[in-house]
Structure 1
Amino acid sequence: MTDHDDVPGGQDLPAGARGPARAADETVAADEAVAPVAAVAAVDLGATSGRVMLALLHGDPGRERVELEEVARFANGPVEVPEGDGAALHWDLLHLWRGVLDGLRAAGVAAAARGLDLGAIGIDSWAVDYGLTGADGALLGNPRCYRDPRLEGVAEKVLDTLGAEAHYRVNGLQTQPFNTEFQLVAGAQDAVWPLATSVRLIPDLLASWLTGRVVAEVTNASTTGLVDATTRQWSPTVIDGLVRAYPALGDLRGRLADLVEPGDVVGHLTGRVRSLTGLGAVPVVAVGTHDTASAVVGVPAADDRFAYVSSGTWSLVGVELDAPVLTQASREANVTNELGVDGTVRYLKNVMGLWVLSETLRTWRESGRDVSLAEALAAAETAEPGRTVVDVDGPQFLAPGDMSARLAEAARASGQPVPDGVGQVVRCVLDSLAAAYARAVDQVTELSGRGSDAVTAIHVVGGGSQNALLCRLTAEATGLPVVAGPTEGAALGNAVVAARGVGLLTGTLTDLRGVVRRSSTLVTYEP
């Protein structure tokens, strides 16, 4: 589902790692001082931060590479707001909008300093969450966060009503309590719902403010549960079924914009946005607007015999296919079919990811136990391996809170030693994540029907690719080499699709990955 936020390891390479290195035929040209030939801006929004990256294109056709420069970064995170007797979680979308505008202004200045104009803008973000707008286009309140407590139990009720098996045969989507369709059912009784004329996923909403045109990009739309995974169109079967079961949804299809594919130009910056940013009529391209879709484009593989881990706040573990897998076995394994760039399918499982580690460090810090990430990983390196391995995908790890206490409870429930101290707790998290990755790779490979030799390497992209210990443990757990990098996989994937959308790059998805490979320093961890 989401997302790739930086959760770096910041360590020297341990034994068993090979790198940093590039293949000989991918070596960057010796003259690093050659001026870039074009520039695009990649807006990359995660659950804990947003950033705007200036992507500078270097090299002749067929030998292009991308140099990324972060020109803006701003905080993000859900905001708790009182609601009735409890609380609701919302995103501060206006803060993100300001960050995007400031970042685009900075990207334009940085490009101009090199004698370039921005050639395109791409936006990606986490999935499933949306904003509602009224007939005049005004935002009807800040979007809810996918961790909002009111979603508890909604998915089960909806699927019991619609029939889980038939539902999966259409949308191919794993059951997650926060899928957009369940959020819509939970929100259909809100006072603002009858006023809403448009439902826009986060990157589509921002793109509409930039360009004045409303579209729904298909890779992100596929996480809503409302898209037919085979036709890549909105599903009348699902949408009509939801409306029959929940009449308060009303004209749901009428609130959804037409779908577009990655690479389509949404529109050009409006006059107002140009005055706010100092930019010209820059085209906004619908990239893989789900950050995982962009991150998978950013996998620097030379062939299709790979699995990937898009590693950050969440970890998305899967393989790339040409068609969805809609079998009963796939549904029972809770594997999802999310749509990718160039007609592909991201067949994957959500793993809870480094959220568990970041929440552990946060709650320690708030209790007065200030442990840095580097200190935590160093302690985990020397802790007893495999002492306690729990199911980090359990629902108790979804909400914010004291993860070390929840790990202890899970350990007791499974009859394992309770982690005690920084090293044991963090090692439990990382050993458990590596085991979850191995299970997920085995499952998706088997269920895809591609055969036992379909995966010869695992590519880890995103912030978690810098966590050397986790990468090494993943290699050991899977028995496969782990290729770590690029850290900014989503931004690179975003940038190359945006550049191709306006003709600055050409070629297939494999060609785009060649650009990513030439642009990256990779580290390989052997099992």
Structure 2
Amino acid sequence: FAMVQANDPALSIARTFLTMPDLFNFFLTGVKFNEFSNATTTQCFNPVTKNWALELLAALGIPTQIFGQIVPPASVLGNLRPSIAAELGLAEISVVASAGHDTASAVAAVPASTDDYIYLSSGTWSLIGVELAEPLINVESLAANMTNEGGVGGKIRFLKNIVGLWMVQECRRQWASQGTKYSYVDLTQMAAAAPAFGPLVDPGNNRFLAPEDMVVAIQTYCQETGQIVPTEKGAILRCSLESLALEYRWVAEQIDHLTGKKHPVIHIIGGGAQNKLLNQFAANATGRTVIAGPVEATAIGNILVQAIAMGEIASLAEGREIVCNSFEVETYEPQEVSTWGEAYQRYTRLKEM
């Protein structure tokens, strides 16, 4: 739409709309398709009809003819271009449209055998949600800022994108710029050694999106909300991690309410699953069992989808069983639930300010 407003000539001469995964598939095969999971994140997609929102696009002046056929993950697009195969010395190889969206691939690798769980893709950002058969769109889901994105097997990833380890990463960057470098192991140990249940922050507050100095942003928030201002590095880190765990509870309870279903388990996948302290905090704060791993969920999910496409495995359920049997996971049970409950009451008051 910004291109329409700017009268960008590229839009008028465009013939085909391809997202980045689709573009690479085109380079490899010479065929043009739009893969489902990534198409759903373009804001050009109607999650109810599961097709392009052509009427809306036309009303906005966006040429609708550039939007092509949408194919589901695990679609065999064709063979590798002969010129590429010859250059690499390869035989005829099929090219598969995997789940092009990284979180969709990651969720495919959740090592679950039931559907009563919440997934949490943990990294710089945390994507927390559930898989549904159909999109959940109503006034409450809009108010909660939930989204309906495509998954594998026609599933809808009903989720919320929240701040993850961004605050910790930015504190680390700030201290490095001042001449002190810490590993992530160092940071976790510093947080673990700091006093529990000090000041809290709302990670979703806009001030934490791109501050010049994350440390100062955290301290300023605490001062403005009448809390003790953390000065020690460990206290700042613990504030960040405890607050993030409490945000997990906030969103998990929203998901339970919106779906009308309790989810007793949280599967934490992705790089953030390596943070054992945050995993335990998540279990404590939410009062739910946390299962952490695998770390490389996106790559694993991508492989599973390709295996389904090639008939090597029959279903996503079978693929998840393979993940269960192939990768180590760690289980965290809730501890100090009543104390964390008191902290959550403080946290909810901050959210309401």
- Unaligned 5+ runs, structure 2: 335-353
Distance 1:417 1:279 in 2: 64
Aligned to 2:265: 457
Q: Does 1:483 align with 2:268?
A: no
What is the match of residue 225 of structure 1? 43
2:55 pairs with 1:237: yes
In structure 2, the CA distance between the partners of 1:236 and 1:412, relative to structure 1 (3 Å rule), is: same
Q: Take 2:322 and 2:83, find their aligned partners in 1: how far apart are those partners?
A: 34
Q: Secondary structure at the match of 1:307?
A: strand
Q: 1:257 to 1:416 in 2, by over 3 A?
A: farther
Q: Does residue 328 of structure 1 match 2:123? A: no
Task: Give the whole-Å Cα distance in 1 for the aligned partners of 2:54 and 2:274.
Answer: 43
State yes or no: 1:203 paired with 2:14.
Answer: no
2:333 paired residue number: 526
CA–CA separation in structure 2 for the residues paired with 1:241 and 1:498: 37
| Structure 2 CA distance for partners of 1:254 and 1:518, relative to 1, 3 Å | same
- The one-letter amino acid of 2:301's match is G
Aligned partner of 1:446 among 237, 251, 257: 257
Residue type matched to 2:59 in 1?
Answer: G
**Counterpart position of 1:517:** 324
Distance 2:236 2:79 in 1: 50
- 1:215 is the counterpart of 2:33: yes
Once structures 1 and 2 are overlaid, which stretch shifts more, 197-206 or 471-480?
A: 197-206
Q: Report the alpha carbon displacement of residue 405 of structure 1 after superposing the two structures with TM.
A: 2.0
2:278 to 470, 473, 479: 470
Distance 1:272 1:409, change over 3 A: farther
Aligned partner (choices 258, 270, 280) of residue 91 of structure 2? 280
What are the Cα deviations for residues 57-83 of structure 1, in whole angstroms up to 9, with x where unaligned?
xxxxxxxxxxxxxxxxxxxxxxxxxxx
1:446: Cα distance to partner? 0.7
Matches within 5 A, 1:176-325: 188-190=6-8, 192-243=10-61, 249=62, 251=63, 253-325=64-136
The structural deviation recorded for 1:287 is 1.5
**d(CA) in 2 for partners of 1:282 and 1:513?**
25
User: Whose helix fraction is larger, Structure 1's or Structure 2's?
Assistant: 2
Work out the CA distance in 2 between the residues paired with 1:400 and 1:204. Answer: 34
**1:141-172 CA distances to partner (integer Å, 9 max, x unpaired)?**
xxxxxxxxxxxxxxxxxxxxxxxxxxxxxxxx
**Residue identity (%):** 39
Name the amino acid aligned to 1:255: I
Change (3 A) 1:218 1:416: same
Displacement of 1:422 = 1.9
Q: Deviations over 1:191-246 (max 9, x none)?
A: 54444333321211111111111211111111112111122111123312322xxx
Contact 2:280 2:333 in 1 (8 A): yes
> Normalized per residue, which structure has more strand?
1
Q: How do 1:78-157 and structure 2 match up within 5 A?
A: none
RMSD: 1.9
Q: Is the 8 A contact 2:289 2:331 kept in 1?
A: yes
Q: Distance in 2 between matches of 1:428 and 1:313?
A: 17
Which amino acid letter does the alignment assign opposite residue 41 of structure 2? T
Tell whether the 8 Å contact from 2:191 to 2:237 is kept in structure 1 after alignment: yes
Aligned residues: 334
- Residues 3 and 11 of structure 2 are in contact (CA less than 8 Å); yes or no, is this contact kept in structure 1? no
Q: Deviations over 1:370-409 (max 9, x none)?
A: 1221111100001122212211122233337422222222
CA distance in structure 1 between the aligned counterparts of 2:47 and 2:88, rounded to whole angstroms: 38
Match runs of 1:8-27 below 5 Å: none
SS of the aligned residue for 2:18 comes to strand
For 1:341, which of 116, 132, 152 is the aligned residue? 152
Aligned partner of residue 199 in structure 1, secondary structure: coil
After alignment, is 387-396 or 459-468 more displaced?
Answer: 387-396
CA 1:332 to 1:261, structure 2 compared with 1: closer, same or farther past 3 Å?
same
Q: Using a 3 Å threshold, how does the CA distance of structure 1 residues 343 and 194 change in structure 2: closer, same or farther?
A: same
> How far apart are the structure 2 equivalents of 1:189 and 1:404?
42
- Residues 471, 197 of structure 1: alpha-carbon distance in 2 compared, 3 angstrom cutoff: same
C-alpha contact 1:411 1:418 (8 A) present in aligned 2: yes
- In 2, are the aligned partners of 1:319 and 1:445 still within 8 Å (CA)? no
The reply to whether residue 495 of structure 1 matches residue 275 of structure 2 is no
- 1:504 and 2:322 equivalent? no
Are the equivalent residues in 2 in contact too, given 1:212–1:270 (CA < 8 A)?
Answer: yes
Alpha-carbon separation, structure 1, partners of 2:126 and 2:251 = 11
Contact in 2 for aligned 1:303/1:510 (Cα 8 Å):
no
Q: 1:348 to 1:412 in 2, by over 3 A?
A: same
Equivalent position SS for 2:28: helix
State the distance in 1 between where 2:295 and 2:168 align: 18
**Residues in 2 aligned to 1:411 and 1:270: alpha-carbon distance in whole angstroms:** 58
Deviations along 1:416-458, one digit per CA (max 9) or x if unpaired, are: 22222321121122112111111111101111122xxx31211
Residues 395 and 242 of structure 1: CA distance in aligned 2, closer, same or farther (over 3 Å) = farther
Contact kept, 8 Å, 2:4 with 2:11, in 1: the verdict is no
Is the Cα–Cα contact under 8 Å of residues 126 and 161 in structure 2 kept in the other structure? yes
Aligned CA distance change for structure 1 residues 397 and 213 (closer, same or farther; 3 Å): farther
Q: Gapped runs of 5+ residues in structure 1?
A: 1-180, 244-248
Q: Deviations over 1:246-284 (max 9, x none)?
A: xxx4x1x22222211011112222133324544333222
- CA–CA distance in structure 1, aligned partners of residues 212 and 30 of structure 2: 40
Q: Which residue identity lines up with residue 312 of structure 2 in the other structure?
A: L
- TM-score normalised according to structure 1 size: 0.61
The equivalent of 2:233 in structure 1 is 422
